[in-house]
């Protein structure tokens, strides 16, 4: 009985930090994906000059999102 209680206590100590860390990792991954999407979108917009309306949209969204430094 004591052994079970001790393992449960150890599991709580392990699980508690994991629960704190996982949302941070998830948000970081999401931000990285978002930045990559913005970067590739900007690259594709620079290539074709005839589409001026999407270019304006990307410039507006760039003000709000953090820039990905390459």
- 7-48 pLDDT, tens digit per residue, is 767 666 655 555 555 555 556 666 676 776 777 767 666 655
Instruction: Please indicate whether residue 32 or residue 59 has the higher confidence score (pLDDT).
Output: 32
At 51 the three-state DSSP class reads coil
**pTM given for the model:** 0.26
For residue 6, pLDDT beyond 70: yes
What pLDDT does residue 7 have?
73
Angle at 58 between CA 52 and CA 62, to 5 degrees: 145
**Which distant-in-sequence residues (6+ apart) come within 8 Å of 67 by Cβ?**
35
Mean pLDDT of 41-60: 57
């Amino acid at each position: 009985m004591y052994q079970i209680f001790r393992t449960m206590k150890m599991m709580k100590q392990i699980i508690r930090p994991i629960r704190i860390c996982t949302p941070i990792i998830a948000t970081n991954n999401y931000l990285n994906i978002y930045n990559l999407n913005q970067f590739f979108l900007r690259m594709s917009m620079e290539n074709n000059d005839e589409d001026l309306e999407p270019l304006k949209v990307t410039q507006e969204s760039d003000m709000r999102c953090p820039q990905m430094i390459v």
